[in-house]
Amino acid sequence: MKILAIDTSNQPLSVAVLEDGNLLSQATCTKTKNHSVKLLPLIERLMEDARLKPCELDRIVVAKGPGSYTGLRIGVATAKTLAYTLDKELAGVSSLEVLAAAFPKTEKSVLVPLFDARRGNVFAGAYRYDENGLLQTVMSDRHIAVADLCEEFASQNVIFVGRDAQAYSDLINEKCKNGTISSFGFNYPRADILGMLGEKEKCVDVNDFVPNYLRMTQAEAQWLEKHPEGKMSMTPMLKKFKTGFNRLFGSKNDGQLEFKCRNVKVKGYEYLFVRAVVPDIPEILDIERAVYKGQTPWNFENFEAQIREQERTLYLVVRHNDEMVGFAGCDMKYATYEAHITNIAVLPPYQNLGLGQMLIKTLIDEADKRGLRKVSLEVRQSNVNAHEAYRFAGFVDRIVKKDYYTDSPAEDAIEMVYSINANKRKERMTNG
């Protein structure tokens, strides 16, 4: 069996090509977390090194999580696209199991692979080799406080595996008297191990397969109970890859507003700008609550309708260190040559750092690309800080909309507009 294995679940990026359990080519990058840029060229190079054509593959295997939200999305989306387009089998393997399986076989200790999940929490599982040398699950993968994890294994011989374990060495040494931290050589994922594990896994349906985020499980489950038809269906997107797939990688999003995810640096902070998908909505609502004092001016259904309207609307989310920190939405009204910003919000700790201005600029640029002449929005008359921010971005007042906001008490809105052509002329005059 010829396998392409992909692990983007955390900062390390690992890809391997295998045939019948033999490694043909492999590469692991540990320095930077820029999988959206590096993954596809790396796959292409490794396929060339292995002297295999994409059509010769039998199965795509991907690390399904837990781990980095953004990393998982990139890896799973790529694996699903390739599997669908090439009509190949698809299998997913626990990212934690991959770490455990790379550690030398030992019957004396429990292996606890872990990834940092911030704020004193980790993603962790527990595994043990049986007398036949087979890896068995002792504790299922979960999101857990480090202190609770140490307490659970305090009396056992345990080896903590993974590069993030070192950050909690003091707590591990204090709480786990029989615990040790694995050496450097076993702290990184290996795609060849992923591929060998994936060869034994049952295949999954390409359309139904989703990453194992763990932190999102509850929110997703609650949403899916109400919306059983909305299971991260990728069929519409994948069909677009199917048509005219002449090279290993390429896409054509006919009928959809294209937006390529990008890394953006604003005042020393690195952000990832990416198009929103329906499973992002629970996090979007969390930002709303943080910005609007516990309220959600837009509910789940409002956001869902906008995000699913791919031909006319563009909704973006912004992530910093895998945390969603902002979002913005825009309705492209081609008939009137005007784009209307429907939503924009930034988490309070990231406000006044230029992120809001960058979101506005991004939407203006996207409107300009599509030949639109103006960008408009509404803002509460009482929101003086927002008025100043929009005017700084180049917006001017157009009209007052009486009782536009119908919550109690009702409040007027100021409609503001940005003239793309006028501001371009101003920029040209300023630059000389």
- Give the whole-angstrom CA distance, residue 108 versus residue 157: 7
| H-assigned helices in 243-376 | 281-291, 300-308, 355-369
- pTM tops 0.75: no
Q: What are the extents of the domains in the chain?
A: 2-92+190-214, 103-186, 262-431
| pLDDT tens figures, 303-349 | 988 988 877 899 999 998 778 899 999 999 988 899 999 999 999 99
The reply to whether CATH 3.30.420.40 applies to domain 2-92+190-214 is: yes
pLDDT at 219: 42
Q: Which residues in 314-323 are b (16+ Cβ under 10 Å) and which e? A: bbbbbbbebe
- Quick one: pLDDT at residue 267? 92
The structure tokens listed for 306 are: 């906008």
Contacts of 98 (CB under 8 A, 6+ apart): 7, 63, 189, 190, 193, 194, 197
What sign results for the dihedral spanned by CA atoms 393, 399, 404, 409? positive
Query: pLDDT, tens digit, for every residue of 139-153?
Result: 999 999 999 999 999
Residue-wise pLDDT tens digits, 172-227: 988 888 889 988 778 888 999 999 999 999 999 887 888 888 764 444 444 445 54
Residues 6 or more apart in contact with residue 387 via CB below 8 angstroms:
379, 414, 416
**Cα distance between residue 48 and residue 32, in whole Å:** 23
What pLDDT is recorded for position 247? Answer: 43
Question: Which residues are tagged catalytic?
Answer: 378, 390
Average pLDDT of the segment spanning 342-357? 95
Residue 352: per-residue pLDDT: 93
CATH superfamily, with its number, for domain 103-186: ATPase, nucleotide binding domain (3.30.420.40)
Mean pLDDT value of segment 412-426: 88
Q: Which CATH number fits domain 262-431: 3.40.50.300, 3.40.630.30, 3.40.50.10490, 3.30.70.100?
A: 3.40.630.30
d(CA 28, CA 5): 12
Instruction: Tell me whether the CATH fold assigned to 2-92+190-214 matches the one assigned to 103-186.
Output: yes
